[in-house]
Structure 1
Amino acid sequence: MNKTPKPHDLLWGMTPDQLPANAPAWAWQVLAAGHPVVVRRALCEPGHVAVGIRGASRDQRLAAIMPIRSIRRLLSPEQLRPLGPGDLPALRALETVASMLDATDRSWGPTGGVGFQLATGIPVLHAASDLDLLLRTREPFERQQARTLLAALAEAPCRIDLQLETPLGAVALREWAGESRRVLLKCAEGARLVDNPWQPMERAA
């Protein structure tokens, strides 16, 4: 695998024997069935990637570590697109917002349950499911631009949670579009409040 896994990427190849001995039975079953895991933000040893395993219900979530050498397939959120009109609000919302996100000239894609269902065909969505999205913002995304986008997304047929992925981590569009001077930046080392999610913090000498 030449591509470095990023948060929200879906990975295939993790096997049940790579789980800790005390892992729940449902996690063993998920991996035995060949389901993918999702990359999460956490530090781990070189040659490994932090992942999350998804079960059939909301309470079935498990943090784990996957050897990078085990990756057989990788799908990033921006590789996932709606296959056509969906009969659920989250899928209809994805189709509705696709053109406005394309218009930002930045890479984007669905994450969460929508991304998982598009990638696997496994029906994990329901009528009350939200739509989770990420937008790759390697360059700063102006706060007024964030407010305009947030207002446009509010017209979708379900709640949308969009994360702005910066080179330093991720910040919620809803926060960056707000009035607070400082926002929560999520990164592998944890979460911290920052003024500018694109500005590296100065390290103490």
Structure 2
Amino acid sequence: MVNTFLAHDLLWGMTPEHLPVDAPAWAYEALGAGQPVVVRRATTAANRIAVGVRGRLREQRYATTMAKSAITRRVRPEDLGHAVLVRDLPALHALARLRPVLDGCSWVWGVSGAVGFELASGVEALHERSDLDLILRMPHPLDRGHARELLAQLDASVCVVDMQLQTPHGAVALREWAGPARRVLLKDNRQARLVCDPWQPSLEPMP
């Protein structure tokens, strides 16, 4: 089992018995059905990992932690880029259209959010108005001009498409990086902060 887990990874092995006693009933139901949990950004003890339990409703999200020793399976967003799901839904049509575009850029990319959850688990999480959430692994800086070109491709889709650029220091929304603002919001396991360069946040002046 790989010890380095990243936000949006899906993990199996957590059971209702692992939940705190004050967890909502729907969270017990989800884990009782064998559903995976989603890795989230937060700091934890070395032997645990921050995760979220998804319910059937959009507002049903429960933050907790999971023992690494309980993990039985891991699926990363990049494992799902070419997974097939036969349902006539806008988010899936958007994924099919964007797949060759992203493959042609030679970047490591993947699917998260409701689309990724359903592709990985088979649990129906999508509906007609579902967004498509994508992850782009970007160890090296992406020019803002290229970011605008990529965003234009996403915005030509039949549904809302959101993409996170995963830098070595955290995640930034492509939509922000392609926008006019000089500073953008960078999220890591400890905080969210405004930076000028998500690939070199250490160069930010102290507030």
TM-score under structure 2 length normalisation = 0.95
Aligned partner of 1:78 in structure 2 is 78
User: 1 CA distance for matches of 2:72 and 2:85?
Assistant: 28
SS in 1 for 2:69: helix
Aligned partner of 1:142 in structure 2 is 143
User: 1 CA distance for matches of 2:132 and 2:26?
Assistant: 25
Which segments of 5 or more consecutive residues in structure 1 lack a partner in the other structure? Answer: none
Query: CA offsets, 1:45-95, max 9 Å, x none?
Result: 111110010011112110010011111000000101241664100000001
Identity among equivalent positions (%) equals: 53
Work out whether residues 86 and 92 of structure 1, in 8 Å CA contact, stay in contact via their aligned partners in 2. no
SS in 2 for 1:193: strand
Q: Classify 1:82/1:95 alpha carbon distance in 2 versus 1 (closer, same or farther; 3 Å).
A: farther
Aligned partner of 2:89 in structure 1 is 88
Aligned partner of 1:197 in structure 2 is 198
SS in 2 for 1:91: helix
Q: CA deviation at 1:123?
A: 1.3
Aligned partner of 1:21 in structure 2 is 21
SS in 2 for 1:185: strand
Supply the AA of the counterpart residue of 1:88.
L
Structure 2 counterparts to residues 175-190 of structure 1, below 5 A: 175-190=176-191
Work out whether residues 164 and 173 of structure 1, in 8 Å CA contact, stay in contact via their aligned partners in 2. yes
Work out whether residues 82 and 95 of structure 1, in 8 Å CA contact, stay in contact via their aligned partners in 2. no
Which segments of 5 or more consecutive residues in structure 2 lack a partner in the other structure? Answer: none
Alignment RMSD: 1.4
Structure 2 counterparts to residues 144-183 of structure 1, below 5 A: 144-183=145-184
User: 1 CA distance for matches of 2:150 and 2:12?
Assistant: 33
Query: CA offsets, 1:120-154, max 9 Å, x none?
Result: 11111110111000100011111001000001111
Number of equivalent positions: 204
Query: CA offsets, 1:98-138, max 9 Å, x none?
Result: 11111221111110000001011111111011100010001
Query: CA offsets, 1:7-54, max 9 Å, x none?
Result: 000000011121111001111111111100000000111111100100
Work out whether residues 195 and 201 of structure 2, in 8 Å CA contact, stay in contact via their aligned partners in 1. no
Aligned partner of 1:129 in structure 2 is 130
Aligned partner of 2:46 in structure 1 is 46
Q: Which runs of 4+ in 1 moved over 6 A?
A: none
User: 2 CA distance for matches of 1:181 and 1:159?
Assistant: 24
Aligned partner of 1:63 in structure 2 is 63
- Please say if 1:118 is aligned against 2:119: yes
